[in-house]
Amino acid sequence: MAKPIRVVALVAVAALGLAACGGSSGGSGGSGDAKTLIISTDLPLQGSSKDASDAANNAIELYLQQVGNKAGSFTVKLKKYDDSTAAAAKWESGKCQANANEHVQTKGEVAIMGTYNSGCAKLEVPILNQDPSGPMVMISHANTNPGLTKVANGSEPGEPEKFYPTKVRNFGRVVTTDDVQGQAAASFAARDLAIKSVYVLNDNETYGQGIANSFAEQAKKQGVKVIANEAWDGKATSYTALFQKIKATSPAAVYFGGVFDNNGGLLTKDKVAVLGDNAVVKLIAPDGFTGYPDFVKMPEAQGAYLTFPGLAPSLLRATGGPGAKVLDAYKAKYGSDPKSNYALYGVASVQVILAAIEKSDGTRKGVQQAIFSGEGITIPAAQSVLGKELKIDPKTGDANFKDVLVEVVKGNAEEPLKSVTVS
């Protein structure tokens, strides 16, 4: 448990050295041309997450066009970063660290929309936090691990303070956290599905362990027997033996705490081959399995239940307003709604960043202070692409609402089933 703390500290120190060596890159407080600023996205553009990342980037570009690439008197340009590698086919720790250093060194860049994976954010945030011209802001549309902003069940020692060496916050998000998502999923399993026992698996990564632990804890509180909570090997060539062991415990459901990137396709196939389809032994998974066309097209995935810490595009379109305008433009250009529910939340993150830029003097420090001091940033309901007021808590960086969507995989698509607001 102590090892991640030492790793983060070493990365942060190295980053500070790089920032100092390239100090001229941010020497003007992050602004080159005083009226033209760069905002960026930091997402996995390779592997199974590519579709979700492309959808977010496309939606953000459309929104920036709609607002004339302006934030107050500033002109805004978008730069895209890839935090994945072809070899890993997903986010990769070395790439995340390298990206963070490049963010700091890039003249004119003032804020980042990302990351997609909480583990990547935990590596980048401390580096950005020690930017001499900052701290540099990161606002995420998808990082749901609670430890980034608060102490919660499953938090590692030193979280969240260890991510902020300067003792000043610079990370925020527009979605709710895994402790909330886990509570909603467990409640749905117990009350709506009447599940009495569940076998929990996690992918042994930051996000997967956190969401699995949260679900397991909440399931127990709902009277569901949690038979076990163990890791699956993301590089395994077969999960038959694992599911044969699980079958001997006669679970009513299995829960996959993790991301589809970590061999989720084979895991799902072997689950059905050994335990039966999702009408026999139900499959429940978190947002780490949403937004993946390869997953929803699997015959074995049909009938699986998914949770997402927000609302689906179809529900957001019904609210009208800026969100519907972005979705309509997206559908007109790309022929369908975004493949990921997270796309519009990427736009919401950018709305926070643009509001902060407008409120600031155009420097990294000014953008950070606009979000994390005073009353912070509020996007009124009439302007919010999420159809409701969005407020970022300046003390924590967390959003003000706790929406969780429950979906079912049906007809090779994710079909919204119910929306839950957790109190």
Residues, the chain, total?
A: 423
How far, CA to CA in Å, does 113 sit from each of 23, 180, 404? 23, 22, 21
CA atoms within 13 A on the CB side of 357: 30
Residue 24, pLDDT score: 30
Listed range (119-123, 190-194, 199-203, 317-321) with the worst mean pLDDT? 317-321
Looking at the domain assignment, is residue 37 inside a domain? yes
Looking at the domain assignment, is residue 291 inside a domain? yes
The answer, yes or no, to whether residue 6 has pLDDT greater than 60, is no
Residue 23, pLDDT score: 31
Q: Which pLDDT band, with edges at 50, 70 and 90, does 152 fall under?
A: confident
| Average pLDDT in the chain | 91
Residue 81 shares a structural domain with residue 196: no
Residue 185 shares a structural domain with residue 217: yes
Residue 297 shares a structural domain with residue 370: no
Q: Report yes or no on whether pTM surpasses 0.85.
A: yes
Residue 33, pLDDT score: 57
- From 111, 67, 119, 114, select the one nearest 91 (Cα to Cα): 119
Looking at the domain assignment, is residue 86 inside a domain? yes
C-beta of residue 21 within 8 angstroms of C-beta of residue 35:
no
Tens-digit pLDDT profile for residues 8-57: 333 333 333 333 333 333 333 444 456 999 999 999 999 999 999 999 99
Q: Which residues, at least 6 apart from 378, have a Cβ–Cβ distance to it below 8 Å?
A: 389, 390, 391, 392
Residue 371, pLDDT score: 98
Residue 178, pLDDT score: 93
Give the domain range for residue 216: 178-308+404-421
Residue 2, pLDDT score: 31
Looking at the domain assignment, is residue 234 inside a domain? yes
Residue 84 shares a structural domain with residue 232: no
Q: Is 9 exposed, middle or buried (0-12, 13-18, 19+ CB in 10 A)?
A: middle
The answer, yes or no, to whether residue 184 has pLDDT greater than 80, is yes
Tell me how far apart the alpha carbons of residues 374 and 195 are, in angstroms, rounded to a whole number: 46
Residue 52 shares a structural domain with residue 126: yes
Tally of CB atoms within 10 A around 393: 17
Looking at the domain assignment, is residue 317 inside a domain? no
The mean pLDDT value for 309-331 works out to 91
Residue 296 shares a structural domain with residue 354: no
The answer, yes or no, to whether residue 307 has pLDDT greater than 60, is yes
Share of the chain above pLDDT 70, in %: 91
Q: Which residues pair with 391 in a beta bridge?
A: 378
Residue 59 shares a structural domain with residue 123: yes
The CATH number of residue 160's host domain is 3.40.50.2300
The mean pLDDT value for 361-373 works out to 98
C-beta of residue 163 within 8 angstroms of C-beta of residue 172:
no
Q: Which pLDDT band, with edges at 50, 70 and 90, does 347 fall under?
A: very high
| DSSP reduced 3-state for 337 | coil
Share of the chain above pLDDT 90, in %: 86
Residue 128 shares a structural domain with residue 105: yes
Tens-digit pLDDT profile for residues 82-93: 999 999 999 999
Looking at the domain assignment, is residue 280 inside a domain? yes
Q: Which run of H or E residues covers position 101?
A: helix 93-105
Looking at the domain assignment, is residue 314 inside a domain? no
- From 35, 56, 17, 21, select the one nearest 110 (Cα to Cα): 35
Tens-digit pLDDT profile for residues 100-140: 999 999 999 999 999 999 999 999 999 999 999 999 999 99
C-beta of residue 160 within 8 angstroms of C-beta of residue 129:
no
320: left (phi over 0), alpha (psi -120 to 50) or beta: left
Mind giving me the DSSP string for 233-294?
-TT-S--HHHHHHHHTT--SEEEEES-TTTTHHHHHHHHHHHH--TTTSEEEE-GGGTT-HH
Whole-number CA gyration radius for the chain: 21
Domain count, the chain: 2
Tell me how far apart the alpha carbons of residues 410 and 403 are, in angstroms, rounded to a whole number: 22
Residue 157 shares a structural domain with residue 116: yes
The answer, yes or no, to whether residue 242 has pLDDT greater than 80, is yes
Tell me how far apart the alpha carbons of residues 268 and 13 are, in angstroms, rounded to a whole number: 41
The answer, yes or no, to whether residue 330 has pLDDT greater than 90, is yes
The mean pLDDT value for 366-370 works out to 98
Residue 5, pLDDT score: 30
The mean pLDDT value for 299-322 works out to 92
Residue 229 shares a structural domain with residue 367: no
The mean pLDDT value for 75-88 works out to 98
Residue 26, pLDDT score: 37
Q: Which residues pair with 308 in a beta bridge?
A: 405
Residue 141 shares a structural domain with residue 184: no
The mean pLDDT value for 314-335 works out to 93
C-beta of residue 376 within 8 angstroms of C-beta of residue 394:
yes
Residue 189 shares a structural domain with residue 278: yes
Looking at the domain assignment, is residue 318 inside a domain? no
Residue 315, pLDDT score: 83
Backbone φ and ψ for 244, nearest 5 degrees, come out as: -65, -40
